[in-house]
Amino acid sequence: MAFFVARRLLYLVPVLIAVSLLTFLIASLLPGDLAYTILGDQATPENVAALRRDMGLDQPIWWRYLSWLGGVLQGDFGRSFRTGQTVLQAVAERLPVSIELMLLAQLGALAIGVPLAIICAARSGGPFDRFMTGTAFGMLSVPTFLSAILLIYFFAVELRWLPATGYVPFAEDPAGNLRFMVLPALTLALAEWPGIMRVLRSDMIATLQEDYIALAKAKGLKASRILFVHALKPSSLTLVTITGINIGRLIGGTVIVETIFALPGIGRLLIGAIYTRDLIILQGVVLLVGAGFVIVNFIVDLLYAVLDPRIRHGHA
């Protein structure tokens, strides 16, 4: 196991370096001069040149990359030239919102997807199974921003049960916080459950063909016990994989949902930075999200190896 972790860690380093390089190149090579953006309309050639010197923009690009990376490694991601806040402060302020949203969404997706998958697998080919697999396939074609609008229309505009936008921190008002979180989390959950349900269903249909399930039935175990204990457990691996694969889409969805529901999370920070052309914040957030994404995938890989001994011994 230690060997496996070491090997994966070794792979993590070049990927993270590549992520930082790509982020830097996107921000540096593409058109648009940071100095002009900061100075705006009042830019004169003299003060642009002065600012470029101050910010080191007149240095060669490899030097700028190394000095930027050096700063990043010491926790200095730069500072917004609009608000004066450092990237780390801005991210630390908003990260809890995004993480809460993603966790609630994932819980919601599991709460919808897992029971449906079990019921469908138990009666595969039946009318309910066919209806639900059809629904899941249809749901895969509903973009996040579309289901967000539908949910807002029904629950906020028509029924007036839930607020459409707004946020209070969980620490101040837990109940209010959850009220604001219901629709955003549900929106994301609606996009996530079809994937969970489809994969878990076909996995469980295969598991239910195994001999040990026949044995369990022959022993006269209750159907619910067979389904939930004997069949669901080996399929938990699949759920881990699915979560790993979906996390990229979940992050993208979070950006959209936070913008629609006006939640002060990372996605909102990113979109705001784009609107105001706050390039330092943008660069920092993209790097942190990219690195976070790589590390989450790394953890999913490890979790997978912990659950399945065949992988850590290289037989799979």
Partner 1 sequence: MATLELTIDEGVAAQPAKRGRRLGLLFWLAIGWMIFMFAVAILAPVLPLPSPTDMDMLERRAPFSMEHWLGTDGLGRDELSRLIHGARISLVVGLCAPIIGLTLGGALGMLAGYFRGRFESLVVGSMDVLLAFPPLILALAVTAFLGQSILNLTFILGVLGIPAFMRVARAATLTLARREFVIAAQALGATHARILLRELLPNVILPLFAFFLLAVAVTIVVEGALSFLGLGVPPPISSWGTMIGEGRESLDVAPRLAFLPAAAMFLTVLSFNLVGDTLRALTDPRQGAL
Residues that bind partner 1 (CB under 8 A): 15, 18-19, 22-23, 26-27, 30-32, 125, 129-130, 133-134, 136-138, 140-146, 149-150, 152-153, 157, 247-249, 251-253, 255-256, 259-260, 270-271, 274, 277, 279, 282, 286, 289-290, 293-294
Whether the Cβ atoms of residue 103 and residue 178 lie closer than 8 Å to each other: no
Closer to partner 1 by CB, 216 or 281: give it: 281
Closer to partner 1 by CB, 88 or 291: give it: 291
Torsion sign across C-alpha atoms 259, 260, 261, 262: positive
**Min. distance of Cβ 234 from partner 1 in angstroms?**
21
**Min. distance of Cβ 145 from partner 1 in angstroms?**
5
**Min. distance of Cβ 219 from partner 1 in angstroms?**
31
**Min. distance of Cβ 87 from partner 1 in angstroms?**
14
**Min. distance of Cβ 284 from partner 1 in angstroms?**
11
Closer to partner 1 by CB, 266 or 305: give it: 266
Closer to partner 1 by CB, 50 or 274: give it: 274
**Min. distance of Cβ 143 from partner 1 in angstroms?**
4
Per-residue CA distances from 219 to 19, 214, 222, 225, 226 (Å): 54, 9, 9, 12, 11
Closer to partner 1 by CB, 127 or 220: give it: 127
Closer to partner 1 by CB, 204 or 270: give it: 270
Closer to partner 1 by CB, 92 or 295: give it: 295
For the chain, the DSSP string reads: -HHHHHHHHHHHHHHHHHHHHHHHHHHHHSSS-HHHHHHGGG--HHHHHHHHHHTTTTS-HHHHHHHHHHHHHTT---B-TTT--BHHHHHHHHHHHHHHHHHHHHHHHHHHHHHHHHHHHHTTTSHHHHHHHHHHHHHTTS-HHHHHHHHIIIIIIIS--S-SS----TTT-HHHHHHHHHHHHHHHHHHHHHHHHHHHHHHHHHHTTSHHHHHHHHTT--HHHIIIIIIHHHHHHHHHHHHHHHHHHHHHHHHHHHHHHT--SHHHHHHHHHHTT-HHHHHHHHHHHHHHHHHHHHHHHHHHHHH-HHHHTT--
Torsion sign across C-alpha atoms 55, 58, 59, 61: positive
Closer to partner 1 by CB, 145 or 212: give it: 145
**Min. distance of Cβ 280 from partner 1 in angstroms?**
13
**Min. distance of Cβ 159 from partner 1 in angstroms?**
12
- Based on its alpha-carbon atoms, the radius of gyration of the chain, rounded to whole angstroms, reads 24
